[in-house]
Amino acid sequence: MFQVSPVATIKNKRSRPEDDNWSNFPSVIELLGHVSSETILGLDAFSHIEVIFLFHLVSEDTIVLTAEHPRENPDWPRVGIFAQRKKSRPNRIGSTICRIEQVAERSISVRGLDAIDQTPVLDIKPVMKEFLPDRNTQIKQPSWSTELMLDYW
């Protein structure tokens, strides 16, 4: 058994896990009391962070372990949970790269974080270009995923 504890909480005006228009909702990541403010020292030198969080409102009985149509759209192919970014994942872990707008003493203001208010944050990592595919790497993805993401941000 492995256990993790939240290091921060997300604050924003989005209280329900809807699928689209996430860029309309700025978020603030607030460190929890037991986490030192020094953990975010130097983060203001980066433009983006990767936020790893828990889909805390997903109940155990909705976890997906089979293939399904993304967003239950029968026009899209059935794919496994690891071939999509659905919230009903086996360990309910989400991950998003978002833009830093401001770093304060105990908080980080961001844009483009697809998590709702009160979401527990498990980890925060700076985005370094060396961890991303290089400019010559072509990202391959199926057409259904491009269609799904049209209004996401």
CATH classification code of 8-148? 2.40.30.70
- Per-residue pLDDT reduced to its tens digit, 55-95: 999 999 999 999 999 989 999 999 999 999 889 999 999 99
For residue 103, give the H/E element and its range.
strand 93-103
CA-nearest of 2, 30, 50 to 120 is 30
CA distance 80 to 132: 24
Q: Return the pLDDT at 19.
A: 64
| 21, pLDDT greater than 70 | no
This prediction has a pTM of 0.91
For residue 11, give the H/E element and its range.
strand 8-11
- Give the mean pLDDT of the chain: 92
| Domain range list for the chain | 8-148
> Whose structure tokens read 């993790």?
4
